[in-house]
């Protein structure tokens, strides 16, 4: 297990370097002058001429060659300093730390709800494959996965907040305030998880060891709990892991609509405002989260399947 | 070399604007005189109008929480950080020496009187009842320190108080001596950048009716009524401003009862708000959507084509695209600003457009497309996603041009500023705010004379001379004559097609009283707004 951890940790370093380099190059190639965007975000109407713009570019370090800026930024990153936001004039690290908990909370609640709903539903639909229930769940999950998140978000707001007055329209750190954004994310996340669980359980159902377990007279619940689910765990763990990383990093649209103060919204705002340090910080931190979650999933594979532990040990 | 030359021309025009605009001052002062407050002598002055806070009875105790959502919140509470000044002023935190009236002239606010002692000297007399949030008096020394901090930190503020100006404080009197005549000073002192503040360490104290108690950058601003505010604290005890970037989410939150005010909605939301029983605040913005034509590129190097395109665009149809109270625009600037001497220079006359093109040799062929010497009449409109409504306009214009026999395609770019600045377009959708000065000079400088946004696209020496006259002339009538001359030339040359003036729209719950966002949406939350 320790060897898995070390191997994966070593892998993350070039991955992060590559991600940061690609993002930096893409930002360099993207049209638009960050200094102009920063000035445009002021909302004021002062006439700014070429001299003012040049001064701002100098202040922001944009007058240096790109490779030099990247080297400077990387030098700061190595010292765990993500630089200063062009717009907020605050350390990016502090901004990330301020926003990250909100995204982690939303992702955790969503994932908990998704697993709680989707895994049992996936098992039941697999056990009753091709039944009316199975057909209904398949259609519902397909619809849930197909509709755009922003549409589901606005529809849920309209239904639960405007029409039924059951929940607040906007997100917030209260039990009622987290329900709507988590619900919208759960619809999409659980749709995929139901289908993966169903497929994995279906595959296990026809395995020889299940026939043996049944022949031994085990109750259907024990067959599912002790034999089917552990064997179906690998694909489910994979999806859950990817979902969690995705929910932290890519729930930006939902965070935007529900005014949820998470890191995804910070990324969108940084991109719109030309706030290069904040955007790079966002990408780097979310990449670290994705890699970390993948690492956890790899470890979980080992815990779930003794064959993987053995293979690694050899 | 070229850049230097352009910059110096720009500097010249800016200097001219600050130098002169004497033409505007008599008009501005005339506006004040109408209120019976100014002295129409060579030593002009603008005094605190009757009905000001000082003359009103003290308001009662503050009560209630007003919950509002906006599309822009300050990143910091420092108006000198270059990004937060508008939010701070509009949410009742900061104040300026002068403020704009509903007719966009300026009147004293923190100041009690503004006098022009001589062409180079302005004297500001401050009110004696204005205090910062720590209770200290807002005297001339505090204002001087505030301005000097702003001038040193905020790019472009030397267009408000010219570089080299000397600020002298004495008691409640601030004297501003400028190196060149600065006739725009009354309006400059009302701009968001020049909010008066007192800096104590990392704390920044303002004089506004609301004092922030909690602020998370671009998320939430909670402010309490400042109890020491002149005339008594604001009616509202707590102002809760939330940043909700999505427009639809703001309106749904208003409908759900989570908000009392949803700011910055789309005109198309008007009917929905009205049918829901909400109060709406709407009105024209000091902004114009337009289509800039590159007179250096075919087919717009031919004046007849420019004239025909302008004649063939039905602005009323464009206005309906946005829905709500959008106004067709036919003048150099937003008509609602009531700029003296401004008149319509364009019109919609589809039949005339056809005749103009026929006369110029652009005849419609069998396919309906217009051609001359075997070449089809066609052009490309550049638009950008920053203002999605402009793309919708471009689509409508494509349709209208098709009826005229002109082929049009649409090209989208993400960085419209570079495209405009470098003139790398044939026709470009654009939107220009009139700016803080509430004067037409910004649009004239940006669009029709050599400047950062018009480096080599349109340059008419006659227009340049007339603009210099307009900006520098002390005689109001002569300035208006110069503006008329500019308009007469531009009416013929059509370097820009004026399209529509967009409207602001805000939705307000029924329990909110006395909320007004005028003018220019600078002053959204003041002392008078209350909750039923």
Smallest CA–CA distance from A169 into chain B, residue: B253
- Contact of A23 with chain B, judged by CB distance below 8 Å, is answered with no
- Contact of A164 with chain B, judged by CB distance below 8 Å, is answered with no
Contact B14 A47 (CB under 8 A): yes
CA distance B210 to B194: 18
CA distance B225 to A49: 38
Q: What is the pLDDT of residue A42?
A: 52
Name the residue facing A56 among B155, B192, B258 (closest C-beta): B155
Question: What is chain A's Cα-based Rg?
Answer: 24
Q: If residue A249 lies in a helix (H) or strand (E), which one and from where to where?
A: helix A229-250
Counting one residue from A and one from B, how many pairs have CB atoms under 8 Å apart? 141
Contact B83 A42 (CB under 8 A): yes
Say which residues have a Cβ less than 8 Å from residue B135's Cβ, sequence separation at least 6. Answer: B228
Smallest CA–CA distance from B82 into chain A, residue: A42
Q: What is the pLDDT of residue B46?
A: 66
**Nearest CA-CA distance, residue A256 and chain B, Å:** 6
For helices B350-359 and B303-312, give the axis angle rounded to 10 degrees.
Answer: 160
Smallest CA–CA distance from B443 into chain A, residue: A47
CA distance B161 to B303: 40
The answer to whether B334 touches B434, Cβ cutoff 8 Å, is yes
Q: Which residues pair with B169 in a beta bridge?
A: B174
Q: What are phi and psi of A23, to 5 degrees?
A: -65, -40
**Nearest CA-CA distance, residue A202 and chain B, Å:** 41
- Contact of A244 with chain B, judged by CB distance below 8 Å, is answered with no
CA distance B223 to B233: 12
**Nearest CA-CA distance, residue B159 and chain A, Å:** 7
Tens place of pLDDT per residue across chain A (314 aa):
677 677 777 878 888 888 888 888 887 777 667 776 666 655 444 445 666 677 777 877 888 888 888 888 888 888 888 888 887 778 899 999 999 999 999 999 999 999 999 999 999 999 898 899 999 999 998 888 888 888 999 999 999 999 999 999 988 888 899 999 999 999 988 988 999 999 999 988 888 888 888 888 888 888 888 888 888 888 888 888 888 888 887 688 899 999 898 999 888 888 877 788 888 888 888 888 888 888 888 878 777 777 776 666 66
Name the residue facing A89 among B76, B191, B413 (closest C-beta): B76
Q: What is the pLDDT of residue B520?
A: 67
- Contact of A157 with chain B, judged by CB distance below 8 Å, is answered with yes
Task: Report which DSSP code applies to A157.
Answer: I
Question: ipTM for the complex?
Answer: 0.79
**Nearest CA-CA distance, residue B13 and chain A, Å:** 12
Q: What is the pLDDT of residue B9?
A: 41
Alpha helices per DSSP H over B385-498: 388-404, 416-421, 441-448, 461-472, 476-493
For residue A261, the chain B residues in CB contact (below 8 A) are 216, 219
pLDDT, block means (10 residues), chain B with 532 residues: 36 41 33 31 51 55 92 85 82 94 84 91 95 96 96 79 91 93 82 92 94 90 95 94 91 94 86 89 83 95 97 93 81 80 94 96 91 94 83 94 95 80 90 67 81 81 89 71 94 96 89 80 87 90
Smallest CA–CA distance from B76 into chain A, residue: A88
Contact A261 B418 (CB under 8 A): no
Name the residue facing B252 among A56, A90, A157 (closest C-beta): A157
Smallest CA–CA distance from B157 into chain A, residue: A46
Contact A265 B245 (CB under 8 A): yes
Contact B216 A165 (CB under 8 A): no
**Nearest CA-CA distance, residue B246 and chain A, Å:** 5
- Contact of A104 with chain B, judged by CB distance below 8 Å, is answered with no
Kindly write down the DSSP assignment for every residue of B317-355, as one continuous string: HHHHHH-SS-EE--SSS-GGG--TT--------HHHHHH
CA distance B277 to B510: 8
- Contact of A31 with chain B, judged by CB distance below 8 Å, is answered with yes
- Contact of A90 with chain B, judged by CB distance below 8 Å, is answered with yes
**Among all chains, which residue has been given the structure tokens 């400088």?**
B445
**Nearest CA-CA distance, residue A41 and chain B, Å:** 6
Nearest CA to B251 out of B324, B336, B327 is that of: B324
Kindly write down the DSSP assignment for every residue of A12-54, as one continuous string: HHHHHHHHHHHHHHHHHHSSS-HHHHHHHTT-------HHHHH
Contact B193 A168 (CB under 8 A): no
The answer to whether B467 touches B251, Cβ cutoff 8 Å, is no
Give the global pTM: 0.76
Name the residue facing B414 among A31, A47, A90 (closest C-beta): A31
The answer to whether A193 touches A239, Cβ cutoff 8 Å, is yes
């Amino acid at each position: 297990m320790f060897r898995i951890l070390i191997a994966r940790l070593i892998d993350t370093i070039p991955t992060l370097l590559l991600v940061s380099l690609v993002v930096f190059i893409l930002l360099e190639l993207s049209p638009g002058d960050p200094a102009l965007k920063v000035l445009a975000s002021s909302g004021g109407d002062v006439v700014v001429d070429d001299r003012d713009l040049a001064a701002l570019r100098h202040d922001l370090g944009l007058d240096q060659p790109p490779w030099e800026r990247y080297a400077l930024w990387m030098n700061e990153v190595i010292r765990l300093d993500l630089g200063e936001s062009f717009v907020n004039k605050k350390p990016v690290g502090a901004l990330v730390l301020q926003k990250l908990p909100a995204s982690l909370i939303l992702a955790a609640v969503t994932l908990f709800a998704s697993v709680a709903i989707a895994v049992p539903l996936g098992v039941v639909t697999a056990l009753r494959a091709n039944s009316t229930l199975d057909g209904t769940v398949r259609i519902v999950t397909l619809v849930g996965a197909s509709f755009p998140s922003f549409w589901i978000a606005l529809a849920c707001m309209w239904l639960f907040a405007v029409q039924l007055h059951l929940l607040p329209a906007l997100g917030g750190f209260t039990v009622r305030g987290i329900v709507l954004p988590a619900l919208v994310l759960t619809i999409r996340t659980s749709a995929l998880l139901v289908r993966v669980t169903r497929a994995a359980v279906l595959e296990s159902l026809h395995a020889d060891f299940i026939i043996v377990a049944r022949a031994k007279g085990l109750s259907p619940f024990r067959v599912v709990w002790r034999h089917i689910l552990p064997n179906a765990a690998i694909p489910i763990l994979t999806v859950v892991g990817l979902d969690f990383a995705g929910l932290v990093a890519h729930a930006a649209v939902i965070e935007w609509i529900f005014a949820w103060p998470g890191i995804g919204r910070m990324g969108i705002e940084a991109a719109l405002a030309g706030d290069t340090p904040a955007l790079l910080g966002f990408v780097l931190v979310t990449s670290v989260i994705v890699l970390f979650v993948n690492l956890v999933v790899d470890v979980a594979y080992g815990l779930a399947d003794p064959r993987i532990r053995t293979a690694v040990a050899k | 070399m070229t850049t230097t030359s352009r910059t110096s021309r720009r500097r010249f025009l800016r200097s001219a604007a600050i130098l002169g605009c004497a033409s505007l001052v008599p008009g501005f002062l005339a506006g004040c005189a109408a209120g019976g407050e100014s002295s129409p002598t060579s030593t002009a002055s603008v005094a605190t109008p009757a009905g000001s806070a000082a003359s009103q009875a003290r308001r009662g105790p503050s009560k209630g929480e007003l919950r509002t959502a906006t599309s822009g919140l300050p990143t910091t509470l420092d108006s000198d950080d270059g990004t937060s000044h508008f939010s701070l002023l509009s949410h009742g935190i900061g104040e300026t020496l002068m403020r704009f009236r509903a007719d966009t002239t300026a009147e004293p606010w923190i100041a009690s009187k503004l006098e022009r002692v001589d062409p180079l000297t302005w004297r500001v007399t401050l009110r004696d009842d204005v205090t910062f949030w720590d209770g200290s008096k807002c005297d001339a020394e505090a204002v001087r320190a505030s301005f000097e901090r702003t001038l040193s930190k905020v790019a472009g503020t030397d267009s408000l108080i010219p570089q080299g100006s000397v600020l002298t404080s004495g008691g409640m009197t601030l004297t501003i001596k400028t190196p060149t005549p600065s006739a725009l000073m009354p309006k400059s002192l009302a701009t968001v950048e020049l909010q008066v503040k007192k800096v104590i360490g990392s704390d920044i104290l303002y004089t506004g009716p609301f004092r922030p108690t909690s602020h998370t950058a671009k998320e939430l601003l909670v402010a309490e009524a400042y109890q020491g505010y002149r005339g008594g604290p604001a009616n509202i005890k707590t102002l809760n401003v939330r940043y909700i970037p999505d427009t639809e989410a703001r309106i749904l939150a208003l409908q759900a009862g989570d908000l009392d005010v949803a700011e910055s909605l789309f005109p198309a939301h008007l009917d929905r708000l009205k049918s829901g029983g909400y109060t709406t605040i709407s009105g024209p913005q000091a902004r114009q959507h337009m289509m800039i034509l590159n007179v250096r590129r075919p087919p717009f190097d031919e004046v007849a084509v420019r004239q025909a395109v302008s004649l063939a665009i039905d602005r009323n149809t464009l206005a309906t695209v946005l829905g709500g109270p959008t106004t067709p625009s036919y003048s150099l600037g937003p008509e609602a600003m009531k700029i003296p001497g401004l008149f319509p220079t364009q019109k919609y006359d589809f039949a005339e457009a056809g005749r103009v093109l026929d006369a110029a040799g652009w005849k419609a062929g069998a396919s309906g497309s217009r051609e001359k010497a075997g070449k089809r009449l066609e052009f490309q409109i550049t638009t950008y996603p920053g203002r999605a409504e402009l793309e919708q306009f471009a689509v409508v214009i494509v349709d209208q041009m098709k009826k005229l026999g002109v082929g049009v395609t649409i090209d989208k770019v993400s960085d419209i500023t570079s495209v405009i600045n470098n003139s790398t377009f044939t026709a470009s959708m654009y939107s220009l705010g009139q700016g803080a000065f509430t004067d037409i000079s910004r649009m004239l400088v940006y669009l029709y004379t050599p400047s950062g946004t018009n480096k080599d696209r349109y340059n008419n020496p006659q227009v340049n001379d007339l603009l210099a006259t307009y900006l520098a002339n002390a005689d109001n009538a002569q300035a208006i004559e110069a503006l008329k001359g500019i308009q007469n030339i531009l009416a013929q040359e059509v370097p820009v097609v004026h399209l529509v003036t967009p409207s602001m729209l805000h939705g307000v719950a029924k329990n909110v009283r006395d909320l007004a966002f005028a003018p220019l949406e600078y002053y959204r939350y003041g002392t008078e707004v209350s909750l039923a």
